[in-house]
Amino acid sequence: MDISTEHLSPDDRMKLEALQNPAVMEITERYLKLLKPKKVTVITDDAEDIRYVRQLALKNGEEEKLAMEGHTIHYDGYHDQARDKQNTRVLVSPGMKMSKVINTIAREQGLEEVLEIMDGAMAGKEALVRFFCLGPLNSRFAIPALQITDSAYVAHSEDILYRTGYEQFKKLNGSPDFFTFIHSPGALDERNNTKNVDKRRIYIDVVGNQVLSANNQYAGNSLGLKKLALRLAIYKANHEDWLAEHMFLMAVQPPGKDRLTYFAGAFPSACGKTSTAMIPGQLILGDDIAYIRSGPDGEACGVNIEQGIFGIIMDVNPVDDPVIYEALTTPRELIFSNVLINDDQAYWLGMGRELPETGRNHFSDSWKQGEKDESGNVVGHCHKNARYTIRISELVNADPKLHDPEGVPIEGVIYGGRDSDTCVPVYQSLDWVHGVAIGATLESETTFATLGKGGERAFSPMANLDFLVVPLGRYIQNHINFGQSLKEAPLVFATNYFLKKDGQFLNQKVDKKVWLLWMEGRVHGEFQSIETPIGYIPKYEDLQALFREVFNREYSPGEYEEQFSIRIDKFLEKIDRMEKIYAEEQEVPAAFSGCLETLKTRLVEAKSEYGSGVVSPTTFAG
Catalytic site positions: 271
| DSSP-assigned beta bridge partners for residue 566 | 615
What crossing angle do the helices spanning 432-440 and 472-485 adopt, rounded to 10°? 150
Task: Count CA atoms within 13 Å of residue 167 on its CB side.
Answer: 7
3-state SS of the chain: helix, strand, coil percent to 5?
A: 35, 25, 40
How would you write 546-608 as a 3-class SS string? HHHHHHCCCCCHHHHHHHHCEEHHHHHHHHHHHHHHHCCCCCCCHHHHHHHHHHHHHHHHHHH
- Measured over the CA atoms of residue 572, residue 574, residue 580 and residue 583, the dihedral's sign is negative
Rounded distance, CA 403 to CA 152, Å? 26
Cβ atoms of 17 and 4 within 8 Å: the answer is no
Rounded distance, CA 587 to CA 379, Å? 46
Rounded distance, CA 461 to CA 602, Å? 22
DSSP-based three-state secondary structure for 441? coil
Cβ atoms of 560 and 604 within 8 Å: the answer is no
Spatial neighbors of 576 by CB under 8 A, at least 6 apart, are: none
Single-letter code of the amino acid located at 449: A
Cα of first residue to Cα of last residue in the chain, in angstroms, is 82
Task: Count CA atoms within 13 Å of residue 42 on its CB side.
Answer: 23
Cβ atoms of 63 and 73 within 8 Å: the answer is yes
Rounded distance, CA 203 to CA 271, Å? 27
As to burial, measured by CB atoms within 10 angstroms (0-12 exposed, 13-18 middle, 19+ buried), residue 177 is: exposed
Q: 113-140 burial, b for 16+ CB within 10 Å, e for fewer?
A: bbbebbeebbeebbbbbbbbbbbbbebe
DSSP-based three-state secondary structure for 489? coil
Q: 514-549 burial, b for 16+ CB within 10 Å, e for fewer?
A: bbbbbbbbbbeeebebbebbbbbbbbbebbbebbee
